[in-house]
């Protein structure tokens, strides 16, 4: 819409194009010869519109966390561009990057390890204000923080207390307040609720959606739990081994999953409804995720795909495309998506392939790895 792409606000807040993050695998003590790469993220393009929630879902080792970190420039990009509100972020350095970071903030999975245990909540929150020159004197700051703490649903006396005095859910609220205090436009939340109990999880999810409504925030939510992602997101991208295999509006993804991996993922998520559980079709994948250090050629999913065809699957890497008759914005990266949808090709059994998991030669984990799996090379 032309009205939206005016000077003050573009429709797309974030545009990521062909982003790749490859961690070098090095061997040797002195020379550190590079012997290979972990292809953590390999060619991802996505756009996030202002005010929407984009959900990234995938299993461990699929590169979703690395992608989130790369967007925030917490990890160096190997290739690709990240445009935030029209400005190229991928090329920023030093002071320019630091000031730009005010507008995109992160909420981490484990609030205990992302909050300094020796700083009071007030000091934690003031730090961000001062770093970005938003401080308006102690009195005004204090009033602002009181408001903020109240907005995320913490008791009034929280500012003087320390992180260990709070429960897991409350700590996550502090993490959200910390991200919010610099008034960002985009919040990247990496597994924001997976460390929490179900009943507390719901409180935090509700808080996130209330804050979005009130403050007009844009979210990128990264999680392994498809039900959580689908619940909070407007659009969902499904990742597998470093690439997005399907992208769809949240409702579409459930009613019309097109990629074999999405189907398997959906059928694997347990639903708390015995009647449904008794009768639903299950697509059990065999074997494990191949190593991102040696991704399979062609479609990365072909080694586990129950619909794999003899031609193209193991040679051509499929690109995201929209199928005929699919909803707007619903794209899938599969050569045979139409045939699968129309039932023209049938499911077959897949012999599980074993992947010998060896740690990296020379035992050097990638620098700034996004998760344990990257270090293990899983």
- Rule CB under 8 A: is residue 28 a binding residue for another protein? no
CA distance to 84, 150, 264, per residue, from 221 (Å): 17, 23, 21
# chain residues binding another protein, by CB under 8 A: 61
Q: With binding defined as CB under 8 A, does residue 378 bind another protein?
A: yes
CB 303 within 8 A of CB 241: no
Bridge-partner residues for 321, per DSSP?
A: 332
Nearer to another protein, 53 or 105 (CB): 53
Contacts (CB under 8 A) with another protein, residues 53-82:
59-60
Q: Is 349 in the site for another protein (CB under 8 A)?
A: no
Q: Minimal distance in Å, beta carbon 353 to another protein?
A: 7
Phi, psi of 255 (to 5 degrees): -80, -30
CB of 357 to another protein, least distance (A): 6
Q: Which residues pair with 23 in a beta bridge?
A: 38
Q: What is the DSSP letter of 132?
A: T
From 17-25, 80-88, 110-118, 352-360, span contacting another protein (CB under 8 A): 352-360
Among 74, 132, 148, 355, binds another protein (CB under 8 A): 355
Site string for another protein, 162-201 (x = CB under 8 A): -----xxxx--------------------------xxxxx
Residue ranges in 268-307 that form contacts with another protein under rule CB under 8 A: 268-278, 282, 284-289
Chain-centroid distance, C-alpha 94: 25
Looking at the DSSP bridge assignments, the partners of residue 322 are 331
230 binds another protein (CB under 8 A): yes
3-state helix, strand and coil shares in percent for the chain, rounded to the nearest 5: 35, 20, 45
Part of the chain binding another protein (CB under 8 A), chosen from 10-18, 23-31, 183-191, 353-361? 353-361
How many Cβ atoms are within 10 Å of 37's Cβ, its own excluded?
18
Q: Judged by CB, which is closer to another protein: 10, or 231?
A: 231
Tell me how far, at minimum, the Cβ of 281 lies from another protein, in Å: 12
Strand bridging mode 53-57 / 235-240: parallel
Q: Which of residues 202-221 bind another protein (CB under 8 A)?
A: 202-203, 205-206, 209-210
| Residue 135 CA to its chain's centroid (Å) | 31
Least separation in angstroms between residue 268's CB and another protein is 4
Cβ contact 112:167 at 8 Å: no
Q: Minimal CA–CA distance to 140: which of 131, 129, 150?
A: 129
Taking the C-alpha atoms of residue 252 and residue 270, their distance in angstroms, rounded to an integer, is 19
Site for another protein, rule CB under 8 A: 59-60, 167-170, 197-203, 205-206, 209-210, 224-228, 230-233, 250-251, 254, 264-278, 282, 284-289, 351-359, 378
């Amino acid at each position: 819409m032309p009205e939206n792409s005016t000077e003050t606000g573009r429709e797309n807040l974030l545009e990521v194009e062909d982003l790749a993050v490859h961690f070098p695998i090095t061997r040797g003590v002195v020379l550190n010869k590079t012997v290979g790469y972990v292809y953590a993220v390999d060619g991802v393009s996505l756009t996030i519109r202002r005010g929407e929630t984009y959900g990234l879902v995938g299993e461990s080792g699929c590169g979703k966390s690395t992608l989130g970190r790369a967007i925030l420039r917490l990890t160096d990009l190997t290739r690709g561009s990240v445009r935030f509100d029209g400005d190229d972020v991928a090329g920023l350095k030093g002071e320019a990057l630091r000031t730009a970071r005010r507008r995109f903030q992160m909420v981490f999975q484990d609030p205990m390890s992302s909050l300094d245990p020796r700083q009071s909540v007030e000091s934690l929150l003031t730090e961000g204000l001062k770093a970005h020159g938003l401080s308006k004197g102690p009195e005004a700051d204090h009033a602002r923080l009181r408001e903020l703490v109240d907005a995320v649903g913490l008791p009034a006396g929280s500012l003087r207390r320390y992180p260990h005095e709070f429960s897991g859910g409350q700590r996550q609220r502090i993490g959200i307040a910390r991200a919010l205090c610099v008034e960002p436009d985009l919040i990247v939340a990496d597994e924001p609720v997976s460390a929490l109990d179900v009943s507390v999880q719901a409180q935090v999810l509700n808080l996130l959606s209330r804050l979005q409504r009130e403050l007009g925030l844009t979210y990128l939510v990264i999680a392994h739990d498809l039900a959580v992602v689908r619940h909070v997101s407007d659009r969902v991208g499904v990742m597998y081994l470093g690439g997005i295999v399907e992208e769809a509006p949240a409702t579409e993804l459930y009613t019309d999953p097109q990629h074999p991996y999405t189907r398997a993922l959906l059928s694997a998520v347990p639903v708390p409804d015995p009647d449904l559980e008794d009768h639903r079709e299950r697509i059990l994948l065999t074997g494990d995720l191949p190593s991102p250090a040696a991704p399979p050629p062609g479609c990365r999913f072909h080694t586990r795909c129950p619909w794999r065809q003899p031609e193209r699957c193991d040679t051509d890497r499929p690109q995201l495309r929209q199928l005929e008759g699919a909803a707007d914005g619903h794209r899938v990266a599969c050569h045979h998506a139409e045939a699968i949808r129309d039932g023209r090709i049938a499911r077959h059994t897949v012999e599980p392939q074993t992947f010998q998991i060896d740690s990296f030669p020379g035992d050097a984990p990638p620098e700034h790895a996004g998760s344990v799996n990257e270090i293990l090379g899983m």
